[in-house]
Amino acid sequence: MTKPDNTQPVIGLEIHVELATETKMFCRCANRFGDPPNTHTCPVCIGMPGSLPVMNKKAVEYSMKVGMALNCTVPEFTKWDRKSYYYPDLPKNYQISQYDLPLTIDGHLDIPLTGGQTKRIGITRAHLEEDAGKNVHDFPAHTGVDLNRAGVPLLEIVTEPHLRSVEEVMSFARAMHRLVRWLGVSQANMEMGQMRFEPNISLWVGDPEKVFDESAGYFTPIFEVKNLNSFRSLERTCQWVIDYHQARIAEKGRGWSLADVGKQNWGFRDDLNACEFQRGKEEAHDYRYFPEPDLAPVVVDDAWRERIAKQIGELPIARKARYLDKYKISEKEADALTLDSPTGDLLDAAVAAGAEAKRCVNLMLGKGASIANERGCRIAEIRITPEQLAELAKMLAGGKVNATAADKIFAKMVETGDTPGKIAEAEGLLAIFDAGKIGEWVDQAIAKNPQAVEDVRAGGKKQKKAFGFLTGQVMQLSGGAATPAQVQKLLHEKLGG
């Protein structure tokens, strides 16, 4: 099999995001994962004839937020449509969705690529629909249906076919995951199915600079792979399908084309770590969309648009760039501080209170991150105020406490909520500069450790280690309150080193 050398992956993504509203899209049932089956259902979401849907405004606002963060336009007028759907997990036999007039259209997301570059990926649309329930295959002789998820608000984001490699797909998927969490519209927990990916994958055979120019090449069939609920399966799927297309081109040549074979639906099998065929275009569904008669269209005016725009604020990519530029911290630190918005807000507020950014960052990503880790929460949630953080950072900068003491104060601050100044005093953690006092400890350490003293005086291989040991002894005698630089200076003087 020879591999064609002029192929270019072309990929577009459809992403489903379950919105974290209190209630479902068109009824007042709780939107909650993990409860016993069919405990959050009502005539509307199980599709009883005669029941009437009522739109959840919060879901619309969450969707506007995402759309606007993706630089989409939110048109004046958007409406609901029925999409035929005949499966037991949505018993009313249709799904309420949006067909020709979606809530948001024509946006883009800039994704980071290795080497510090970014690439702009077009967003075709983001529209709202309702999720289906879940078929439960836990029984020996039958299948159950759990309708707790039926009617949960689902945002579908569709990209333009602008992704050109597995790397770009993964960068996009991660950026999108981060964005919806950042905006607080979804937990996007993929194990719980709160974010699902459907890549459409084809290869352009021909000049890679002229994708879509039919005189310069052609497409292989497009494979749409349904319902991927992990980054791993998305990555694996894209690579698998690309390899598969390569093999078919080698085997069938021009016969393996979109024009001849069309579009196909495939699924990913976790157990096989491979994709499998589901259906071809000849079996394609006729969704027979038509306007939903039971729901009024939604009219979005400027005031509403502005109100939502104000809630968006600075987005993670912009914030990261600002941190790198203004705070002069590393890429890794900037990443860790922009996983969620409250953590960066804490940093910004501490800096606004007059603290040095770098010292705040060290405290947050040192002791702060380790406490957050233990508790399984975000750094912003360990309960320290910007004022406390700023005060501690200033104490460090002014040499009032050393780094070891600052860690102790930090932990105590989280525990008690007291100010760092008060804690430092109560715990005797303020740095001691009194040369007389430190001198006494130095004398004690010298008296108690003649071997180390001899090693220092003798010079040679053991000197450095022995000097460090003595410094440590003095620090211990001071209860961590002496400043190491001052201890070392006094030791040098007394030992003549």
Residues that bind ligand ADP (CB under 6 A): 10-14, 158-161, 200-202, 219, 222, 263
Among 13, 15, 17, 29, binds Zn ion (CB under 5 A): 29
Tokens of 344: 């960066």
Tokens of 326: 């203004």
Q: Is 48 in a helix, a strand, or coil?
A: coil
Does 452 sit near Zn ion (CB under 5 A)? no
Q: Give the end-to-end CA distance of the chain in Å, rounded to a whole number.
A: 74
Q: Which is nearer to ligand ADP, 12 or 344 (CB)?
A: 12
Binding-site size for Zn ion (CB under 5 A) equals 5
- Say which entry of ligand ADP, Zn ion, none residue 42 contacts (CB below 5 to 8 A, set by partner kind): Zn ion
Q: Which is nearer to Zn ion, 39 or 476 (CB)?
A: 39
Cα 24 from Cα 16, distance rounded (Å): 16
Cα 26 from Cα 90, distance rounded (Å): 14
E strand residue ranges, 139-194:
144-146, 153-159
**How is residue 220 annotated by DSSP?**
P
Residue nearest to ligand ADP (CB): 12
Does 42 sit near Zn ion (CB under 5 A)? yes
Q: Which is nearer to Zn ion, 29 or 188 (CB)?
A: 29
Select from 29-37, 87-95, 138-146, 394-402 the region that touches Zn ion (CB under 5 A).
29-37
Q: Is 73 in a helix, a strand, or coil?
A: strand
DSSP codes joined into one string, 346-407: HHHHHHHTT--HHHHHHHIIIIIHHHHHHHTS-GGGS---HHHHHHHHHHHHTTSS-HHHHH
> Closest distance between Zn ion and the C-beta of residue 150, in Å?
8
Does 152 sit near Zn ion (CB under 5 A)? no
- Say which entry of ligand ADP, Zn ion, none residue 27 contacts (CB below 5 to 8 A, set by partner kind): Zn ion
Does 59 sit near Zn ion (CB under 5 A)? no
> Closest distance between Zn ion and the C-beta of residue 41, in Å?
6
> Closest distance between Zn ion and the C-beta of residue 287, in Å?
23
Cα 459 from Cα 201, distance rounded (Å): 69
Q: Is 130 in a helix, a strand, or coil?
A: strand
Q: Which is nearer to Zn ion, 43 or 291 (CB)?
A: 43
E strand residue ranges, 257-347:
263-269, 274-279, 290-291, 298-299
> Closest distance between ligand ADP and the C-beta of residue 12, in Å?
2
Q: Which is nearer to ligand ADP, 125 or 400 (CB)?
A: 125
Q: Which is nearer to ligand ADP, 257 or 402 (CB)?
A: 257
| Residue 233 dihedral angles phi and psi, to the nearest 5° | -70, -30
> Closest distance between ligand ADP and the C-beta of residue 26, in Å?
24
Q: Which is nearer to ligand ADP, 28 or 120 (CB)?
A: 120
